[in-house]
């Protein structure tokens, strides 16, 4: 599976959009981009995933560049409860179901 | 819907004792995963099952660790004998294959080996 690179930490003001970047320059054509987050003392929570088209659900939007070498997770109106570590993971569909978690980005939403 | 249920939530025991962690996956999910999380190593996959069959156990640290899934609604992770370096938070997750497999995690078991 391709390796991902994320900033160690980010800050965001409450009510503003949080844009979390992820670099996956070695991604291959059959690898999806997944985003999970882990709020302190809880298990990781699935947010969203995509292959090449932009995706949106009730939690977030995922923007994948045309060359698929990077993506951005957007939380449109961040709240204090969005403070968490956010993980960007790439994974082949149809192959191993294994998820390889990196260190992620610690997002702090400030009042 | 009930999520992934793990028990116990906390376990404190002395080294050398046997430890058994339990997991009930979400009904209808046919893949089950055991992860371990420590400050040093982060979140790492230990083993996963598909349709109750172990598929990838390459993350199991050593023979002291064993995992079973006797049926679709129950799995155990056993450590015998336990050592202080096994102290960690252990998470169980489940997913349904064929749905591009978002994994749903339990709240974890915080294990402390004294």
How high is the pLDDT of residue A97? Answer: 81
- Tell me what the mean pLDDT of segment B71-90 comes to: 96
How high is the pLDDT of residue A50? Answer: 93
How high is the pLDDT of residue A87? Answer: 97
Asked whether the beta carbons of residue A98 and residue B48 sit closer than 8 angstroms, the reply is yes
Q: Which two tokens stand for residue B26?
A: 């979400």
Asked whether the beta carbons of residue B107 and residue A42 sit closer than 8 angstroms, the reply is yes
* The pLDDT of residue A1 is above 90: no
Mean pLDDT computed over every residue of chain B: 94
d(CA A85, CA A104): 6
How many other C-beta atoms lie within 10 A of the C-beta of residue B57? 15
Chain A CB contacts of B45 under 8 Å are 98-100
For chain B, the residue count is 114
How high is the pLDDT of residue B1? Answer: 63
Instruction: State how far residue B88 is from chain A, nearest Cα, in angstroms.
Output: 12
Among A34, A49, A98, select the one facing B45 at the smallest CB separation.
Answer: A98
Select from B3, B38, B9 the least CA-distant residue to B22.
B9
What is the pLDDT confidence band of residue B106, given thresholds at 50, 70 and 90?
A: very high
pLDDT for A26-65, tens place per residue?
998 888 999 999 999 899 999 999 999 899 999 999 999 9
Q: Which three-class secondary structure state does DSSP give residue B84?
A: helix
How high is the pLDDT of residue B97? Answer: 77
* The pLDDT of residue B98 is above 80: no
How many other C-beta atoms lie within 10 A of the C-beta of residue B93? 27
How high is the pLDDT of residue A21? Answer: 98
Chain A CB contacts of B103 under 8 Å are 44, 46, 97, 99
* The pLDDT of residue B108 is above 70: yes
pLDDT for B22-32, tens place per residue?
999 999 999 99
- CA distance between the termini of chain B: 36
């Amino acid at each position: 599976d391709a390796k991902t690179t994320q900033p160690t930490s980010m800050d965001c003001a409450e009510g503003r959009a949080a844009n979390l970047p992820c670099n996956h320059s070695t991604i291959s054509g059959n690898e999806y981009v997944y985003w999970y987050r882990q709020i302190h003392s809880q298990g990781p929570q699935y947010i969203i995933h995509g292959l090449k088209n932009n995706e949106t659900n009730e939690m977030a939007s995922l923007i994948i560049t045309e060359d698929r070498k990077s993506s951005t997770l957007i939380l449109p109106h961040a709240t204090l409860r969005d403070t968490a570590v956010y993980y960007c993971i790439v994974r082949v569909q149809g192959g191993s179901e294994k998820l390889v978690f990196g260190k992620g980005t610690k997002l702090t939403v400030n009042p | 819907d009930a999520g992934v249920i793990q028990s116990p939530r906390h376990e404190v025991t002395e080294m050398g004792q046997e430890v058994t962690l339990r997991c009930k996956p979400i009904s209808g999910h046919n893949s089950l995963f055991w992860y371990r999380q420590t400050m040093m190593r982060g979140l790492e996959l230990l083993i996963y099952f598909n349709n109750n069959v172990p598929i990838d156990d390459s993350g199991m640290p050593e023979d002291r660790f064993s995992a079973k899934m006797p049926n679709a609604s129950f799995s155990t992770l056993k450590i015998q004998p336990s050592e202080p370096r096994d102290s960690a938070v252990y998470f169980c997750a489940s997913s349904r294959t064929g749905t591009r497999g978002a994994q749903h995690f339990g709240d974890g078991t915080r294990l402390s080996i004294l």
